[in-house]
Amino acid sequence: MLGDKAHVRLHRAALAVTFTAGYAASVLLSVFVSRVAVGAAASLWTANGFLAAAFILLPRPWRMGVATTCVVFQAAGDLSAGDGWARAALYPLVNVLEAGLAGWLAIRFCGVRARRLSLRELALALIAAIMPAAATAGVAGALVGSVLYGQPLLAGWLAWAIPGGLGMAIVLPALLLAARAGQYKEFDRSWLETAAILGGLCALVIGVFLERDLPLQFAIFPALTVIAVRLGPSGAAVAGLLTALIALPLTLLGPGAPAPWLDTAGRVRLTELIIAAALFTTLVTAVAIGEQTRLRHLMLGRDRAARTARERARRAETAVAQARGQALDAAAEAAEAPIAAALPRERVAGLV
């Protein structure tokens, strides 16, 4: 059996590896796929959501290690894609700025380190952390693009802030809830049911985004709602991430992208909006159901405790009454004993 400290270190190591791997995979997808069709600007950027989650959920030494690894990996990826040294050195730092600012705002003003996240924390994370961080990093990215490439500031800001904000809105809330899987015991299901539900969702998403002629994206919403009811917030978060992992690459590769009259960047943004809307709706539903379930369990537990307390009080009163009756009987017997003992002597004296 592992000790508590060893278990905590193992959990942190697993989170660090997961966030680093997610960041690396996102960078590869964005740099080598989304920039192929639209030029130098990546139309998809979900990497900062993984780094922001590391800043929120990990202590300082671990988050610094994850951030350093991510910066080095992205710089190497940019150089491999043919970018110059200046871009490879500056753009990863802007990503760290965005993720770090989002993490600080989420901790400072949104209460995202609570044991269980409520609707309030989720809404604040989107409004008071993700949006300001994306807008601020967009300014920094636009300035770097203007200095390096002469890019107009407004175009650079839009090219940076929109993908970063949408990507973080998809990834960060889902990761925060998925990391709290142990806090939602009321939604524990068998591995067979969980695998069947998530596998069915993956098949549905693949079918939806491989369809060329019919806009079937609406079919994702009821499926995610059912998952929210059955698997709770953590299951809904995992389902949302799986949806994004399937839908975004299929949109970039083009077999079943929505709105074929748009360019690649427009289709990716539309897909991100669909996924973000579906995911946020699902997470809100799951969190609301989780809170209702928790309150119901608390009320049932308090009712059971009250009934148990009343039963114990009744038993105690019964025991006190029995003890008092026994004490009175003993006192009466003690008072009658001398009289009963004296009766034979009086009879003997009368006979004499």
Name the nearest CA neighbour of 77 among 42, 102, 109.
42
pLDDT tens, residue by residue, 172-200: 988 998 888 777 877 888 889 999 999 99
Which of 179, 203, 235 is the last residue before a domain boundary? 179
Does some domain include residue 344?
no
**pLDDT at position 39, please?**
42
**Sequence-separated (6 or more) residues with CB below 8 Å from residue 136:** 97, 98, 101
Averaged confidence pLDDT in the chain: 83
State the pLDDT confidence band at 352, using cuts at 50, 70 and 90.
very low
Domain-located, residue 330: no
pLDDT in the model for residue 256: 56
Among 77-86, 231-240, 300-309, 320-329, which is the least confidently predicted range?
320-329
Residue 216 and residue 252 share a domain? yes
Cβ atoms 236, 228 nearer than 8 A: yes
Same structural domain for residues 105 and 220? no
d(C-alpha 62, C-alpha 67), whole Å: 9
Which of 151, 179, 207 marks a domain boundary? 179
Identify the residue with better confidence: 336 or 44. 44
On whether the CB atoms of residues 266 and 259 are closer than 8 A, the answer is yes
- Whether 324 is in a domain gets the answer no
Q: Tell me: the pLDDT tens digits for 102-115? A: 999 999 999 898 88
The whole-number average pLDDT for the span 218-245 is 89
Please check whether residues 75 and 151 belong to one and the same domain.
yes
Residue 332 inside a domain? The answer is: no
Predicted pLDDT of residue 35? 59
Same-domain status, 208 and 307:
yes
The answer to whether residues 83 and 145 belong to one domain is yes
Number of domains in the chain: 2
pLDDT at 342 over 90: no
Distance, in Å, from the CA atom of 31 to the CA atom of 262, rounded to the nearest integer, reads 21
Do 153 and 259 lie in a common domain?
A: no
Band the pLDDT of 322: cuts 50, 70, 90. confident
Q: Given pLDDT bands bounded at 50, 70 and 90, which one contains residue 255? A: low
Task: Judge whether residue 131 has pLDDT over 70.
Answer: yes
* Model pLDDT for residues 52-92, shown as the tens digit of each residue: 999 999 998 999 999 999 999 999 988 888 888 888 899 99
Both 191 and 279 in one domain: the answer is yes
* CB-neighbour burial class of residue 53 (10 A; exposed 0-12, middle 13-18, buried 19+): buried
Distance CA 254, CA 260 (A): 9
What is the percent of the chain with per-residue pLDDT over 90, rounded to a whole number?
33
- In Å, the largest CA–CA distance within the chain is 140
The arithmetic mean of pLDDT across residues 9-37, rounded, is: 84
CA angle 86, 88, 92 (to 5 degrees): 115
User: Is residue 174 domain-shared with residue 239, that is, in the same domain?
Assistant: no
Pairwise pLDDT comparison (289 vs 134), residue with the higher score: 134
Which residue, 61, 50, 55, is CA-closest to 9? 61
- For residue 63, the domain's CATH number is 1.10.1760
Lowest-confidence region among 6-15, 19-28, 283-292: 283-292
| Residue-range definition of the domain harbouring residue 310 | 183-316
Three-class secondary structure of residue 93 per DSSP? helix
Contact 58, 15 (CB under 8 A): yes
Please choose, from the candidates 291, 183, 195, 201, the residue with its C-alpha nearest in 3D space to the C-alpha of residue 239. 201
In a domain, 161, yes or no: yes
Whole-angstrom distance, CA of residue 323 vs CA of residue 274: 72
> Does residue 230 fall inside a structural domain?
yes
Question: Is the same domain home to 75 and 152?
Answer: yes
pLDDT value at position 338? 65
- Summarize the confidence of residues 299-307 as an average pLDDT: 78
Choice between 338 and 289, residue whose per-residue pLDDT is larger: 289
Q: Residue 347: is its pLDDT beyond 90? A: no
Q: CA-to-CA distance for 213 and 283, rounded, in angstroms?
A: 30
pLDDT band at 209 (very low <50, low <70, confident <90, very high): confident
Q: How far is CA 97 from each of CA 17, 132, 149, 186, 328, rounded to the nearest angstrom?
A: 21, 12, 21, 38, 82
Would residue 329 count as lying in a domain?
no
Same structural domain, 173 and 190? no
Element containing residue 345 per DSSP (H, E): helix 264-351
Whether 267 and 259 have beta carbons less than 8 Å apart is answered as: yes
Query: Does any domain span residue 334?
Result: no
Last residue of a domain, one of 150, 179, 208: 179
Is residue 163 located within the same domain as residue 200? no
Both 169 and 59 in one domain: the answer is yes
Q: Name, in order, each residue with C-beta under 8 angstroms of 295's C-beta and a sequence gap of 6 or more.
A: none
Looking at per-residue pLDDT, the higher value among 162 and 323 belongs to 162
Distance CA 242, CA 186 (A): 22
Over the range 158-179, which residues count as b (16 or more CB within 10 Å of their CB) and which as e? Answer: ebbbbbbbbbbbbbbbbbbbbb
pLDDT at residue 96, as a whole number: 95
